[in-house]
């Protein structure tokens, strides 16, 4: 290049370098192509290309290119295997300058053949290196004729490569930062969602701090919980509305190996069918009208933990198939996305429906039923465990006293008899509501139960010390929780001949450790009134 041309080219390179100083990342591609165009036209060459190495796919990918009219851009992608030596040299930061491609060494035969197929006669290629990392390459080439590449021109083209490399590196940093911000926002939304779930579950858990009851039906449920809680098996809770299936689900999770991970609940009966898929599996932005942001579904929030699908019998058939897939493979897609996601979530399903009848009617998939019914637990109705009703009533009175501002309220024999003889179609939930209403309307110190009629299946009984099911009714005019517990323990101990250990002992029937029972008896002041010569097995 002549001194005058040299000066003009340096002016061009200065302008190009200045144009990349504050270029917007979104405008960078157009700016690079414009710079390639100006260099090609100034030097009178045929084309220039910027590309990157895709080592994972074994390809050379052209990202920016400009060629004079009549000359085709460099094909893309090209196979690295077709340019093995040239690719290796550029990868390690070596420049390649060929006034004629036939000047390649003999061991570059594969590269030479590929250059001929590409139509190149002369070329100069430089690695794009920034911060010690090779991002790709920039090449300048002729397809019409061979040409020389003076040392001064090579030096300036290396400077151009540096300008391109720094601009691309800055954009990569910007892209990484944007991606990090997007990921942080995604994690923030997920954390907020998980926190909301945790708050909901913590509040829910404190609403049910204890499983109250000593009936044989409830002890059977407790035994089943002990058997399955620490496994990952799917559990199906069966029972009428209000029997406490949600409490059993909470207990299963709290005793599982997933107890430190989220417990997420979904009421399938409370969600519109149109929104149920989004609620369960999440959606992408724009997946449907109103989807203004990406949102994870309940299954994602429960990843590593437990999801409770309440009223699963209300799940539409089309979603039953998707749920079956999640149970079988742990895979699903968000609404509006083709990306397959994997989760590890334990499923507890609950229903008050007859799923067998629904299968016969074609309203529930048999294969899904077999999948969720690995370990069924039937939660008994309250009328099936009437001996627990006095304990539950006393428990709810103590629980509701602070809320209703009642410092003391007595449970009378008459009130207990009314509660025990009622059939409770709404089960424990109805019992709690009746107790709360009665506490509100009872003006005096005694709980007045109004409006309850004995169920047709309930046996009419006069209050006595112990029913045929073992229900304890105090002979005194009032019952507190401690009194009910004391009388119940005393009655069971009497039935067992006051045996705390051994076959048919009281501790076993009460579901307690013998030492625990002894401590409880001591605390409640329970002693056997013995006659002379009696022996007590404690």
Q: What's the CA gap between 295 and 185, in Å, rounded?
A: 11
**Per residue in 204-247, pLDDT tens?**
444 444 577 888 899 999 999 999 999 999 999 999 999 999 99
**Per residue in 246-304, pLDDT tens?**
999 999 999 999 999 999 999 998 888 778 888 899 888 878 877 777 788 899 999 99
Region 470-490 average pLDDT = 56
* Half-sphere exposure (Cβ direction) of 150: Cα atoms closer than 13 Å: 9
- Highest-pLDDT range among 83-97, 166-180, 195-209, 459-473: 83-97
Residue 194 has pLDDT above 60, yes or no: no
Only one residue has tokens 């006669």, namely: 121
Q: What's the CA gap between 282 and 316, in Å, rounded?
A: 17
Q: What's the CA gap between 271 and 298, in Å, rounded?
A: 13
Residue 3 has pLDDT above 70, yes or no: no
CB atoms within 10 A of CB 314: 17
List residues bridging with 125 in a β-sheet: 96, 139
In this predicted model, which residue has the larger pLDDT, 517 or 40?
40
In this predicted model, which residue has the larger pLDDT, 207 or 468?
207
Instruction: Provide the edge-to-edge strand list for the sheet that holds 263-267.
Output: 263-267, 306-310, 346-351, 235-238, 375-378
Region 456-464 average pLDDT = 38
Residue 21 structure tokens: 């100083």
3-state DSSP of 174-230: HHHHHHHHHHHHHHHHHHHHHHHHHHHHHHHHHHCCCCCCCCHHHHHHHHHHHHHCC
* Backbone Cα Rg of the chain: 39
Predicted TM-score (pTM) above 0.75: no
181: pLDDT confidence band, cut at 50, 70 and 90?
Answer: confident
Q: Which residues, including other chains, have CB under 8 Å from residue 47's CB and lie 6 or more apart?
A: 40, 65, 66, 67, 68, 71, 73, 74, 140, 141, 143
> Contact 378/239 with Cβ under 8 angstroms?
yes
Residue 134 has pLDDT above 70, yes or no: yes
Query: Average pLDDT, whole number, for the chain?
Result: 83
Residue 81 has pLDDT above 70, yes or no: yes
């Amino acid at each position: 290049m002549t001194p005058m041309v040299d000066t003009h080219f340096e002016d061009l390179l200065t302008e190009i370098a200045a144009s990349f100083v504050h270029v917007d990342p979104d405008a960078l591609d157009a700016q690079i192509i414009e710079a390639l165009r100006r260099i090609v036209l100034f030097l009178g060459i045929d084309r220039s290309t910027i590309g990157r190495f895709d080592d994972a796919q074994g390809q050379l990918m052209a990202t920016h290119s400009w060629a004079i009219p009549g000359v085709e851009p460099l094909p893309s992608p090209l196979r690295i295997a077709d340019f093995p030596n040239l690719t290796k040299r550029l990868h390690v930061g070596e420049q390649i300058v060929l006034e004629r491609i036939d000047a390649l060494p003999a061991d570059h035969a594969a590269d030479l053949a590929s250059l001929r197929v590409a139509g190149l006669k002369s070329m100069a290629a430089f690695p794009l290196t920034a911060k010690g990392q090779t991002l790709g390459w920039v090449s300048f080439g002729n397809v019409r004729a061979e040409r020389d590449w003076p040392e001064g021109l090579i030096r300036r083209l290396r400077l151009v490569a540096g300008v391109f490399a720094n601009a691309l590196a800055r954009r990569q940093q910007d892209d990484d930062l944007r991606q990090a911000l997007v990921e942080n926002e995604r994690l923030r939304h997920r954390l907020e969602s998980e926190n909301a779930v945790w708050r909901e579950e913590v509040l829910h858990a404190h609403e049910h701090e204890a499983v109250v009851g000593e009936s044989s039906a409830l002890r059977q449920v407790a035994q089943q919980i002990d058997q399955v809680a620490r496994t990952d098996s799917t559990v199906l809770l069966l029972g009428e509305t209000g029997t406490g299936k949600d409490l059993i689900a909470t207990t299963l999770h709290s005793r599982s190996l997933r107890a430190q991970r989220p417990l997420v609940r979904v009421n399938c009966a409370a969600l519109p069918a149109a929104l149920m898929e989004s609620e369960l599996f999440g959606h992408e932005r724009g997946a449907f009208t109103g989807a203004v942001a990406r949102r994870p579904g309940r299954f994602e929030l429960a990843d590593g933990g437990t999801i409770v699908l309440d009223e699963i019998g209300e799940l539409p058939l089309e979603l039953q198939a998707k749920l079956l897939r999640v149970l079988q493979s742990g895979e699903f897609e968000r609404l509006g996305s083709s990306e397959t996601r994997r989760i590890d979530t334990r499923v507890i399903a609950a229903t008050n429906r007859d799923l067998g009848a629904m299968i016969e009617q074609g309203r529930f998939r048999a294969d899904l039923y077999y999948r969720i019914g690995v370990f069924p637990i039937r939660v008994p109705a309250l009328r099936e465990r009437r001996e627990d009703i006095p304990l539950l009533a006393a428990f709810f009175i103590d629980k509701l006293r602070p809320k209703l501002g009642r410092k003391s309220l007595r449970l009378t024999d008459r009130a207990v008899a009314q509660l025990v003889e009622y059939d409770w179609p709404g089960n424990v939930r109805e019992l709690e509501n009746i107790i709360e209403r009665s506490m509100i309307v009872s003006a005096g110190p005694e709980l007045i139960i109004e409006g309850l009629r004995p169920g047709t299946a309930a046996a009419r009984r006069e209050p006595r010390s112990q029913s045929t099911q073992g229900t304890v009714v105090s002979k005194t005019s009032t019952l507190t929780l401690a009194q009910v517990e004391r009388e119940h323990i005393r009655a069971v101990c009497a039935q067992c001949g006051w045996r705390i250990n051994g076959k048919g002992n009281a501790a076993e029937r009460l579901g307690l450790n013998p030492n625990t029972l002894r401590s409880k008896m001591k605390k409640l002041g329970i002693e056997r009134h013995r006659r002379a010569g009696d022996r007590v097995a404690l």
